[in-house]
Amino acid sequence: MTTIALEKTIGDPVDRIDGPLKVTGAAPYPSDFAFPDLTHAVLVQSTIAAGTITHIDAAQAEAAPGVLAVITHENAPALVDAPMPRLGPPPPFPLKDNRIMHQGQHVCSRGGADTRRPRARRPVS
């Protein structure tokens, strides 16, 4: 009988040298640093499990102070689909089209200088 060697899908364990720092709270995280002119994004999520986006009125968000852009499926740059990995198909890119496929799916992104200002005024449904 011939034995077929399967390709290795999952790698060897690796020691995490930053592990002790992280579990003790001493490790620096990206949010601990401030950079001048940094743009933050706020994601708006769907409150329904399935559906179709018929319209997004972004005028009020775009007019808010400090907002640089509001990105939806209508103006997001097109992305090439990822190659099929051995473990199954990857999830679709966010903001790819007007279909809602799960609750919590990102349907809009607002970019600006302040993360506290922009919030959805009402749930997206």
Identify the domain containing residue 55 by its residue range.
34-83+91-125
- pLDDT per residue over 91-113, tens digit each? 778 898 999 999 999 999 888 87
- pLDDT per residue over 17-37, tens digit each? 888 998 998 998 888 888 888
> Does residue 56 fall inside a structural domain?
yes
> Does residue 39 fall inside a structural domain?
yes
> Does residue 75 fall inside a structural domain?
yes
Give the integer Cα–Cα distance in Å for 103 and 107: 10
Q: Tell me: pLDDT of 89 over 60.
A: yes
Q: By 3-state DSSP, what share of the chain in percent is helix, strand and coil, each rounded to 5? A: 10, 20, 70
> Does residue 9 fall inside a structural domain?
no
Domain total in the chain = 1
